[in-house]
Amino acid sequence: MNTTAQKLMQDTKTIALVGISNKPDRASHRVAVYLMNAGYQLYFVNPQYKEVLGQPCYASLSDIPDPVEMVDIFRKAEDCLPVAEEAVKIGAQSIWLQLGISNPDCKALAEKHGIAYVEDACTKIVHSELS
């Protein structure tokens, strides 16, 4: 198990979920419900929605009014770099690409800026293995 991933799930309190879906059968929706129930402060980012799970949904990371520690990305690998660049701009402490998603450019960007980075892992699975 990735110790960086475990440490992030233990230390992080605020998470922006980029690519959240309002469809209950989608992984991003199931992960959001799990993380909310686990006590994390979540911010949802998807320009298609005004709200998801009763919370406001923002068009971009820059629209979130509060500081965010982790940016958890539910997007295709080729769509992740602009999100990672915006995560750097807003001062996120970590970038997480969900299960099945890897992007060497995102990894290089995170390393260049000293930001913790996890790819090809699920926040829900890592968190559930902690308890």
Structure confidence at residue 1 (pLDDT): 52
Structure confidence at residue 118 (pLDDT): 97
Classify domain 3-130 by CATH number. 3.40.50.720
Average pLDDT per 10 consecutive residues for the chain, totaling 131 residues: 87 97 96 98 98 97 97 97 98 97 98 97 95 69
Structure confidence at residue 3 (pLDDT): 87
Task: Look up the pTM and report it.
Answer: 0.96
Q: CB within 8 A of 119, min separation 6: which ones?
A: 96, 97, 101, 102, 103, 106, 107
Domain assignments of the chain as residue spans, ordered by start = 3-130
Within a 10 A sphere around the Cβ of 13, how many other Cβ atoms? 10
